[in-house]
Amino acid sequence: MSDTITTEELTTEEPTTEEIAKMYKSAQASEDMVNSIISSTERLELNLKHLESTVQSTYWTEEELKPFNDAITAGRTFLNKLS
């Protein structure tokens, strides 16, 4: 038997004590996931700013910057989809 349960999985309108505990545990897992995604998004923004600053530098000679620019485009596209 699973340690978690969602409200959609309830078998009765009045959940048992065990079902309540499982729903709470499931909600905690969702909270952790939301907080993790937010943290990852903040780290993504910091890394994008670093890459943007890096590719704007004028000291590059023959280094291939396309992968950096591609990552910037992909990262910005991803963040735009979130907003």
Report pTM: 0.67
Q: 2 lies in a domain?
A: no
Q: 1 lies in a domain?
A: no
Q: 47 lies in a domain?
A: yes
Per-residue pLDDT of the chain (83 residues; tens, 9 = 90+): 467 666 666 666 788 899 889 989 998 999 999 899 889 999 999 999 999 999 999 999 999 999 999 999 999 999 999 88
Which residue range is the domain that position 72 belongs to?
A: 7-82
- Between CA 20 and CA 4 the distance in angstroms is 9
* Token pair belonging to 67: 């992968």
CB contact set of 65 (below 8 Å; sequence gap of 6+): 55
Q: Count the domains in the chain.
A: 1
- Between CA 66 and CA 74 the distance in angstroms is 12
Q: What is the pLDDT of residue 3?
A: 73
